[in-house]
Amino acid sequence: MFFWKTWKALQAQGVMGINRRNADYVLKYNKRHLYPVVDDKILTKERAIAAGINVPEMYGIIDTEKDIDKFDSIVAPYSDFVVKPAQGAGGDGILVIADRYEGRYRTVSGKIISHEEIEHHISSILSGLYSLGGHRDRVLIEYRVTPDEIFKSISYEGVPDIRIICLMGYPVMGMLRLPTRQSGGKANLHQGAIGVGVDLATGLTLKGTWLNNIINKHPDTTNPVEGVQLPDWNGFMTLAASCYELSGLGYIGVDLVLDQDKGPLILELNARPGLNIQIANDTGLTARCHLVEHHLAALKKAGKTETVDERVAFSQLHFGAQLNAEPSDTQPSPEPA
């Protein structure tokens, strides 16, 4: 039986609301001067590369109108690629080109677009149409991720991504986001993608949420979204946890993808990760965050810090979910000795 709870009822279970997220986590743990690293995807990529973390390869950057004619030479060696606003959000302004067709381009959802249309799109990105606050922006052209075969049956076109929220480098909640026909190949929930909870201990998927309803089948492929084992789950957890060192930000949403050839890659980091992940997991963030905070306080008292692997082990020990478990009455478990 699936059911929909009101936000109020969820709050009673320790679901984090936007005010608490902003005051107790975003403002407290994320220093303002570090925001540019995550709010600009080009900077994030440069940071990740410097830290030895895999990301989709950057093919080129266009930062002025007069550089728009560099586009042809940037993409000449590739038949597929992605054009995106460096400071975009929510999947807006992203063009995923899958193929070429008689001098034109074919997007992942099959739309044919002309060269002029791409140039116009690039010009719109530069003018700030998709950037946070409408500021002038840069255009990033990068490797197109081909999703791992595992996602074929539960995804419609495009690339699913895995969002892991980390507090001080401890993964606290995860969600697999699956593109649908409606989301145009993008894995953003407000474009119409599905969010599916993930058991942090095992990487097994839980139930899904689509357009604010709990679902158990993908609407386009009709395959169940629950009980799918994500491959290399420890690899994902480790990558996500290591983004604390990379960014210096204490409360982030790490977006990862699994490329058929290159394995787990970091797509982007978010300093104000959304709260819908709680609906997908049927569990609140508050209790999990409190447990990490208690643990950190205990470590501090003992003059200790933990490595990435120790942090991942802590999260896997405490934030696993039993498949088909009763909805969260999650209480912080007692601190380990």
Ligand X SMILES: Nc1ncnc2c1ncn2[C@@H]1O[C@H](COP(=O)(O)OP(=O)(O)O)[C@@H](O)[C@H]1O
Binding site for ligand X (CB under 6 A): 56, 82, 88-91, 94, 96, 142-145, 158-159, 161, 179, 186-188, 255, 267-268
CB of 325 vs ligand X, minimal distance in Å: 28
Q: Which does residue 82 bind out of Mg ion, ligand X, none, counting CB within 5 to 8 angstroms by kind?
A: ligand X
Q: Which does residue 272 bind out of ligand X, Mg ion, none, counting CB within 5 to 8 angstroms by kind?
A: none
Contacts of 208 (CB under 8 A, 6+ apart): 178, 194, 195, 196, 197, 214, 215, 216, 218, 225, 226, 280
Burial of 54 (0-12, 13-18, 19+ CB in 10 A): middle
CB of 3 vs Mg ion, minimal distance in Å: 29
Q: Which does residue 58 bind out of Mg ion, ligand X, none, counting CB within 5 to 8 angstroms by kind?
A: none
Contact 148, 289 (CB under 8 A): no
- CB nearer ligand X, residue 128 or residue 332: 128
Contact 200, 190 (CB under 8 A): no
- CB nearer ligand X, residue 45 or residue 311: 45
CB of 191 vs Mg ion, minimal distance in Å: 10
Tokens in use for 88?
Answer: 């975009």
Contacts of 93 (CB under 8 A, 6+ apart): 84, 85, 121, 124, 125, 129, 130
- CB nearer ligand X, residue 96 or residue 204: 96
Burial of 218 (0-12, 13-18, 19+ CB in 10 A): buried
CB of 164 vs Mg ion, minimal distance in Å: 12
Give the C-alpha separation, 292 to 320, whole Å: 14
- CB nearer Mg ion, residue 144 or residue 295: 144
Cα 112 to chain centroid, rounded: 28
Tell me which residue has its CB nearest to ligand X: 187
- Among positions 238-267, residues that touch Mg ion (CB under 5 A) are 255
CB of 187 vs ligand X, minimal distance in Å: 3
Q: Which does residue 293 bind out of ligand X, Mg ion, none, counting CB within 5 to 8 angstroms by kind?
A: none
The C-alpha angle with vertex 24 and arms to 23 and 29, in degrees rounded to 5, equals 105
CB of 296 vs ligand X, minimal distance in Å: 28
Ranges of beta strands (E only) in 212-250 are: 213-215
- CB nearer Mg ion, residue 163 or residue 318: 163
Give the C-alpha separation, 198 to 214, whole Å: 14
- CB nearer ligand X, residue 161 or residue 293: 161
CB of 235 vs ligand X, minimal distance in Å: 18
Cα 109 to chain centroid, rounded: 21
- CB nearer ligand X, residue 154 or residue 291: 154
User: Which residues in this chain contact Mg ion in the complex, by CB under 5 A?
Assistant: 255
